[in-house]
């Protein structure tokens, strides 16, 4: 049995694979992410221990948030999961289950789910809009290797005297549109937001952030996923229209929903486990 674990700011998602050739998980399920590492990792281990009773775990693909060390399999820094930083999650899982553990950044993992589109598109910016707001540029280098470059879209400053962001800066895009920051600042979930004027302001800020990214990146393709987009898919059309009205110095991007909406990291993890293509980080 092969397992993909996507550790996010609010939930941890598991994808269970017993037949890789099918290209689909046998099961996908989630548990809440507990901010306290000791309690949170205990819940992860409980899930994996139960799965071990069914079949042997021989490979784990682990998606980690924040700034990470892939080789050591640790979170160096995460504004949403401070207690998880510095913990040897990879070694813990490898020793406990005598299993190979492959580690990747959670946003990169999600971005790899769209590799089937790479030859057609040439490159794309994959954006995750959920607890935070992050992205990864996916392209092929001259050796036909898949190259990924993590883009901190959410931490571009859109207001120098703006809201305090959990990263330590002020006025970050994520401080205004990230699901976690929105709850902190407004005591309300974005999914519960009914006010059209508030949504218009959020759409405007996201559109500005994506326009800024397009000025610096060569790709004209944006693929979006994450909890906010998965619950409000209508945002894609609004953002497309807003960007068209704003961006004048370069071609407007085409923005589309992820093929595996809500489960991109699970499918990206499958690709890494199968090792179909060599991947290098930019």
Q: Indicate if 199 and 164 belong to the same structural domain.
A: yes
Higher-confidence residue of 5 and 118: namely 5
Distance from C-alpha of 17 to C-alpha of 61, rounded to nearest angstrom:
11
Predicted confidence (pLDDT) at residue 277 exceeds the cutoff of 50 = no
**Tally of structural domains, the chain:** 2
Q: Indicate if 36 and 127 belong to the same structural domain.
A: no
Which stretches of 53-195 are DSSP H helices?
Answer: 89-97, 106-111, 118-121, 173-177, 179-186
Compute the average pLDDT of residues 65-70. 93
Per DSSP, the three-state class of 36 is: coil
Compute the average pLDDT of residues 109-115. 94
Confidence (pLDDT) at 117: 84
pLDDT, mean over the chain = 93
Predicted confidence (pLDDT) at residue 233 exceeds the cutoff of 70 = yes
Predicted confidence (pLDDT) at residue 112 exceeds the cutoff of 60 = yes
Higher-confidence residue of 140 and 113: namely 113
Q: Indicate if 219 and 269 belong to the same structural domain.
A: no
Predicted confidence (pLDDT) at residue 72 exceeds the cutoff of 80 = yes
Q: Indicate if 224 and 248 belong to the same structural domain.
A: yes
pTM for the predicted model, two decimal places:
0.92
Q: Indicate if 129 and 248 belong to the same structural domain.
A: yes
Which range of residues forms the domain containing residue 44? 2-110+263-281
Distance from C-alpha of 58 to C-alpha of 43, rounded to nearest angstrom:
20
Q: Indicate if 150 and 247 belong to the same structural domain.
A: yes
Q: Which two tokens stand for residue 118?
A: 């790479």
Q: Cα(first)–Cα(last) distance of the chain, in Å? A: 31
Q: What is the pLDDT of residues 150-206, one digit of tens each?
A: 999 999 999 999 999 999 999 999 999 999 999 999 999 998 998 889 999 999 999
CATH of the domain at 250: 3.30.420.40
Confidence (pLDDT) at 121: 83
Q: Indicate if 134 and 102 belong to the same structural domain.
A: no
Confidence (pLDDT) at 100: 93
Q: Indicate if 226 and 272 belong to the same structural domain.
A: no
Q: Indicate if 148 and 88 belong to the same structural domain.
A: no
154 close to 172: Cβ distance less than 8 angstroms: yes
Q: Which two tokens stand for residue 222?
A: 């944006």
Predicted confidence (pLDDT) at residue 282 exceeds the cutoff of 70 = no
Predicted confidence (pLDDT) at residue 274 exceeds the cutoff of 90 = no
Task: Show the beta-strand stretches assigned E in 111-228.
Answer: 123-129, 133-140, 146-151, 221-225
Predicted confidence (pLDDT) at residue 278 exceeds the cutoff of 60 = no
Neighbour order of strands in the sheet with 11-17: 27-32, 11-17, 2-7, 59-64, 100-105
Q: Indicate if 168 and 118 belong to the same structural domain.
A: yes
Per DSSP, the three-state class of 9 is: coil
Q: Indicate if 125 and 239 belong to the same structural domain.
A: yes
pLDDT band at 118 (very low <50, low <70, confident <90, very high): confident
Task: State the Rg of the chain over Cα.
Answer: 19
The shares of helix, strand and coil residues in the chain, as percent rounded to the nearest 5, are 40, 25, 30
User: Which run of H or of E encompasses 274?
Assistant: helix 264-274
Q: Which two tokens stand for residue 156?
A: 């571009």
Compute the average pLDDT of residues 2-25. 93
Q: Which two tokens stand for residue 174?
A: 């994520």
Distance from C-alpha of 61 to C-alpha of 3, rounded to nearest angstrom:
6
Q: Indicate if 106 and 188 belong to the same structural domain.
A: no
pLDDT band at 276 (very low <50, low <70, confident <90, very high): very low
């Amino acid at each position: 049995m092969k397992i993909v674990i996507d550790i996010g700011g609010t939930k941890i998602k598991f994808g269970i694979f017993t037949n890789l050739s099918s290209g689909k998980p046998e099961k996908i399920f989630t548990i809440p992410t507990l901010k306290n590492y000791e309690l949170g990792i205990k819940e992860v281990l409980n899930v994996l221990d139960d799965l071990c009773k069914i079949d042997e775990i021989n490979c784990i693909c682990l998606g980690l948030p924040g700034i990470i060390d892939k080789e050591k399999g640790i979170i160096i820094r995460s504004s949403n999961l401070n207690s998880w930083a510095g913990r040897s999650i990879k070694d813990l899982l490898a020793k406990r289950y005598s299993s190979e553990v492959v580690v990747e950044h959670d946003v990169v993992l999600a971005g790899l789910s769209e590799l089937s589109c790479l030859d057609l598109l040439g490159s794309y910016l994959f954006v995750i809009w959920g607890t935070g707001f992050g992205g990864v540029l996916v392209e092929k280098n001259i050796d036909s290797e898949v190259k990924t470059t993590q883009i901190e879209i959410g931490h571009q400053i859109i207001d120098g005297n703006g809201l305090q962001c959990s990263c330590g800066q002020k006025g970050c895009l994520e401080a205004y549109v990230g699901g976690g920051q929105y709850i902190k600042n407004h005591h309300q979930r974005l999914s519960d937001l009914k006010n059209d004027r508030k949504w218009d302001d959020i759409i405007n800020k996201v559109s500005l952030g994506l326009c800024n990214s397009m000025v610096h990146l060569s790709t004209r393709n944006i693929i979006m996923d994450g909890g906010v987009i998965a619950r409000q898919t209508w945002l894609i059309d609004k953002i497309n229209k807003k960007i068209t009205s704003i961006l004048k110095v370069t071609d407007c991007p085409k923005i589309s929903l992820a093929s595996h909406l809500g489960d991109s990291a699970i499918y990206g993890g499958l690709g890494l486990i199968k090792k179909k293509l060599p991947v290098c980080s930019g």
